[in-house]
Amino acid sequence: MEAIEELAVQPCTSSLYLRPFRLSYRQNGTKKFWDFMRTHDSVSILIFNTSRQCFVVVKQFRPAVYMCEVERDHPQVFQNQNKESFASLENPIPAVVGVTYELCAGIVDKPGLSLEEIACEEVLEECGYRVSTAELRRITSYRSGVGLTGSRQTLFYAEVNDQMRTSGGGGQPEEGELIEVVEIPLEESMKFAYDETFPKTMGVIFSFMWFHNNIAPKLPKK
């Protein structure tokens, strides 16, 4: 996962996932504009393994996170953004700075499937557990990247056990996914959520808090 080589930044002239636009508008009599991206909505799933009393999350390399850290050390890396090509990155920083812990998640890009069906597919592909739509609990939806994309993410909760695991997960290599499945013990979860040495998404923190407020009090006492 952390064997990242031959890094080079270049302009993005087309993408399957992002479309840049500029909106011009007038607000309270003042002329304004705002640059934004259109992208897919998404689903995420908080997975709790009842057999081992742990959360199941994923760990993967995120180029955008990595490049934020690269720019801190090499501010010049984006200075040529108006040119046709960028220089390769010499002596790049360790790839581990771009590795994050996240909920199992996926984009909504299959019109024929419901959000629940897409969520079940992601749980199976990324984490190896087979769940049905009836076993999902919808927690809520929210907007992410409100200053840039404004896309909607819908969060689900799924309880699994060891018998429901049919594979090791890891995503779909043919689509370039390289995902590591990580288990976070329940008793360590809030410490993990606030430990900044483990880079993570807000979805992890929020969903762990939701679990401790709504599910943990109903668990059998040891």
User: 46: domain range?
Assistant: 21-58+99-216
- On whether residue 158 sits in a domain, the answer given is yes
Contacts of 220 (CB under 8 A, 6+ apart): none
92 within a domain of the structure (yes/no): no
Q: What is the pLDDT of residue 80?
A: 62
pLDDT at 52: 96
Reply yes or no on whether the pLDDT at 98 is more than 90: yes
Q: Cite the beta strand spans of the chain per DSSP E.
A: 19-27, 30-38, 42-49, 54-61, 99-102, 104-107, 136-144, 151-160, 180-185
Residue-level length of the chain: 222
CATH number of the structural domain spanning residue 30: 3.90.79.10
pLDDT on residue 26:
96
Lowest mean pLDDT among 11-20, 102-111, 145-154, 169-178: 169-178
Q: For residue 77, is it within any domain? A: no
Nearest to 200 by CA among 124, 109, 103, 110: 103
Is 116 domain-assigned? yes
Q: Which pLDDT value is given to residue 82? A: 57
pLDDT by residue (tens digit) across 7-25? 877 788 889 899 999 999 9
Strands 42-49, 151-160: parallel, antiparallel or unpaired by DSSP? parallel
Q: Give a yes or no: residue 80 inside a domain.
A: no
Would 14 be classed as within a structural domain? Answer: no
Q: For residue 71, is it within any domain?
A: no
**DSSP annotation of 30:** E
Question: pLDDT at position 13, please?
Answer: 84
The percent of residues above 90 in pLDDT, for the chain, comes to: 75
Is-contact 46 157, C-beta < 8 A? yes
Q: 37-89: per-residue pLDDT in tens?
A: 999 999 999 999 999 999 999 999 999 999 999 888 877 777 765 555 556 67
Predicted model pTM:
0.92
How many domains would you assign to the chain? Answer: 1
